Copies of this chain bind each other. A is one copy, B any other.
């Protein structure tokens, strides 16, 4: 077991992501790593939070063939054309017809917490942190916050 102590600090920043297409994946790993390194926090956690209800955060390998598969999987995960009250003007004032995007996003999750050690984000060799657009194209706001010593 490794143990460290010190002065607790919190640093945060906002990242804007311009997505393309209704489904889109964006690799945020390097942005997160750069932010953590510049924060001065060596041991703790970093949180990656989508401030939306139709845009998720996930981890996967960033391989071109697999990115294609993940997009195709997410596009078909939940039927877009089933009846939803959220898409029905009699029940809802939302004109985006995006109930399926809400459902996909809540299944995937909009917040991710990662370990920070030795001044860097702890990720496996094949792990990338990915913003998953599920109702684009839009400009998305992702908030990063690193906390520790």
Contact = CB atoms under 8 A, between A and B. Distances in A.
Chain A's interface size range is: 35 or more
A2 B12 contact: yes
Contact of A39 (B1, B11, B78, B148): B1
Contacts of A94: 63, 65-66
Q: How many copies does the complex hold?
A: 3
A86 B69 CA distance: 7
Interface in A98-149: 99, 102-103, 105-115, 117, 122-127, 141, 143, 145, 147-149
A147 B115 CA distance: 10
27 contacts: A1-B39, A2-B11, A3-B40, A5-B10, A10-B44, A45-B47, A47-B113, A49-B115, A50-B124, A51-B124, A51-B127, A52-B124, A52-B126, A52-B127, A53-B127, A59-B111, A63-B92, A63-B94, A64-B91, A65-B84, A66-B85, A69-B103, A70-B106, A107-B107, A110-B127, A111-B113, A122-B145
